[in-house]
Structure formats: structure tokens, C-alpha cells
Amino acid sequence: MKPQSPVHLRVGPAGIGAEWIPGESLFTALRRQGWLVGSACRGEGICGRCGLEVKDPAGGLEPSGDQERRVKVANQVPDEWRLSCLLICPAQLPDTTVIQVHSPAW
């Protein structure tokens, strides 16, 4: 069986390349590669501090679920942002997919 390819990320204002492994949260992927992502709940999906701007031009990512929407509202995270600890890399995305990720803190 062919291993699933990582998804290509462009991170921060300079668009630095990073990889996101299918099944991995965006929070874990970014921290694994040295990016500082806010958190007060260690990626449990409670605090809302891991919110990031995520641009997915191809639209392959799942939309926010109920928990993510609730936590964003409770913590005044912009609705169009994503909670990176709750955003899991899909198993199937086209090889050409490039997702842009940004935080105002970077």
C-alpha cells in the first residue's frame, strides 16, 4: 500500500514550507517543526488559544465541527479561523494541495 503523502504547508508571513502528516493535528505538526502555537489546554480543544488563520484554496479540509465552533465563540476566536488542535490532516487531499497558515503572533 502506498504511504499517504504529507500535505504541504506555507507558514507565517514568509510562507516557510512545512509538512502535515495525514491523521496529525495541525497543532502537533506545527509544534513538531518548531512553530510556537498558543495553548493553555495542551491541545485538548478547550482553551481556544491555538486559533490560526488557515487558507485552503482547494477546499479539501473539513469545516469546523460543533466543539470547535463552541470553543471559538466562548474564546472570541474569529469564526473564519481554525483551532489547530482540532484540525486533523485528511487522509486524501490532492498532491498539489498547499495550505497557508498564519498567526498574527508570528
* Site of interaction with ligand FES (CB under 6 A): 27, 39, 41, 43-50, 71, 83, 85
Give the nearer residue to ligand FES in terms of CB position, either 9 or 87. 87
Q: How far is the CB of 42 from ligand FES (least distance, A)?
A: 7
Q: How far is the CB of 31 from ligand FES (least distance, A)?
A: 10
Give the nearer residue to ligand FES in terms of CB position, either 41 or 58. 41
Of the candidates 2, 47, 11, which has an alpha carbon nearest to the alpha carbon of residue 29?
11
Give the separation between CA 46 and CA 92, rounded to whole angstroms: 27
Give the nearer residue to ligand FES in terms of CB position, either 30 or 50. 50
CA atoms within 13 A on the CB side of 31: 13
Across the chain, the runs of DSSP E, i.e. the strands, are: 7-11, 16-20, 51-55, 82-83, 98-102
Q: How far is the CB of 36 from ligand FES (least distance, A)?
A: 12
Asked if 101 and 11 touch (Cβ cutoff 8 Å), the reply is yes
Q: How far is the CB of 97 from ligand FES (least distance, A)?
A: 23
